[in-house]
Amino acid sequence: MPTPTKTIPSEELLTQVIDTNATGITILDKSMNIIFWNQWMSNASSLAKEDVLHKNLFSVFPEMKNSRIEKAIELSISKGNASFISHTFNKNPFPLYSNGDKNKSIRQLTYIKPVNLKNNERYCFIQINDSTTSVYREEQLRKMAHDAQSLTKLKSGFVSSVSHELRTPLTSIMGALGLLKNGTDKVNPENMKTMLDIAYNNADRLLLLISDLLDMEKIESGKMDFNFSTININELIDLCITQNKGLSDKYKVQFNFNKDDNIPLVFADKDRIIQVLNNLMSNAVKFEPNGGTIEITSSHENNKVHVAVLDHGSGIPDEFKDKIFKAFTQADVSNTKNISGTGLGLAISKTIIEQHHGELNFDCNNKRGTCFYFTLPVNKQ
Give the shortest CB-86-to-another protein separation in angstroms.
4
Give the shortest CB-269-to-another protein separation in angstroms.
41
270 binds another protein (CB under 8 A): no
CA distance 359 to 102: 43
Q: Kindly indicate which of the ranges 35-43, 96-104, 105-113, 216-224 contains the residues binding another protein, using the contact rule CB under 8 A.
A: 105-113
27 binds another protein (CB under 8 A): no
One-character DSSP codes across 279-290: HHHHHHHHHSPT
152 binds another protein (CB under 8 A): no
Give the shortest CB-332-to-another protein separation in angstroms.
32
Q: Which is nearer to another protein, 90 or 201 (CB)?
A: 90
* Gyration radius from the chain CA atoms: 37
Q: What are phi and psi of 311, to 5 degrees?
A: -110, 170
Q: Which is nearer to another protein, 120 or 334 (CB)?
A: 120
Q: In this chain, which of 63, 121, 138, 271 binds another protein, going by CB under 8 A?
A: 138
Residue spans of beta strands (DSSP E) within the chain:
24-28, 34-37, 83-85, 108-116, 122-130, 228-231, 254-258, 266-269, 293-301, 304-311, 359-365, 369-377
Give the shortest CB-122-to-another protein separation in angstroms.
9
Q: In this chain, which of 1, 89, 225, 302 binds another protein, going by CB under 8 A?
A: 89
Q: In this chain, which of 16, 20, 59, 81 binds another protein, going by CB under 8 A?
A: 81
Query: What number of other Cβ atoms are within 10 A of residue 221's Cβ?
Result: 8
The long-range contacts involving 61-70, CB below 8 angstroms and separated by at least 24 positions, are 61/94, 61/95, 63/92, 63/95, 64/92, 64/94, 64/95, 67/91, 67/92, 68/92, 69/93, 69/94, 69/110, 69/112
214 binds another protein (CB under 8 A): no
Q: In this chain, which of 17, 145, 151, 159 binds another protein, going by CB under 8 A?
A: 145
Give the shortest CB-127-to-another protein separation in angstroms.
9
146 binds another protein (CB under 8 A): yes
Q: Kindly indicate which of the ranges 81-89, 213-221, 258-266, 336-344 contains the residues binding another protein, using the contact rule CB under 8 A.
A: 81-89
Query: What number of other Cβ atoms are within 10 A of residue 145's Cβ?
Result: 10
149 binds another protein (CB under 8 A): yes
CA distance 30 to 62: 18
Q: In this chain, which of 32, 135, 177, 187 binds another protein, going by CB under 8 A?
A: 135
Q: Which is nearer to another protein, 87 or 300 (CB)?
A: 87
Ordered strands of the 24-28 beta sheet: 34-37, 24-28, 122-130, 108-116, 83-85
CA distance 5 to 83: 39
Question: By CB under 8 A, how many residues form the interface with another protein?
Answer: 27
CA distance 234 to 277: 11
The CA angle 230-235-237, to the nearest 5 degrees, is: 115
Q: Kindly indicate which of the ranges 68-76, 223-231, 310-318, 365-373 contains the residues binding another protein, using the contact rule CB under 8 A.
A: 68-76
64 binds another protein (CB under 8 A): no
Give the shortest CB-283-to-another protein separation in angstroms.
38
Q: In this chain, which of 57, 85, 216, 231 binds another protein, going by CB under 8 A?
A: 85
Give the shortest CB-23-to-another protein separation in angstroms.
14
151 binds another protein (CB under 8 A): no
Sign of CA dihedral 207, 209, 210, 216: positive
Q: Which is nearer to another protein, 7 or 88 (CB)?
A: 88
- Give every CB contact of residue 341 below 8 A, 6+ residues apart in sequence: 282, 283, 286, 330
Give the shortest CB-96-to-another protein separation in angstroms.
18
- Give every CB contact of residue 330 below 8 A, 6+ residues apart in sequence: 341, 343
87 binds another protein (CB under 8 A): yes
80 binds another protein (CB under 8 A): yes
Q: What is the dihedral of CA 271, 273, 279, 282, to 10 degrees?
A: -90
Positions touching another protein (CB under 8 A) are: 68, 71, 75, 79-89, 109, 111, 113-114, 116, 134-135, 138, 141-142, 145-146, 149
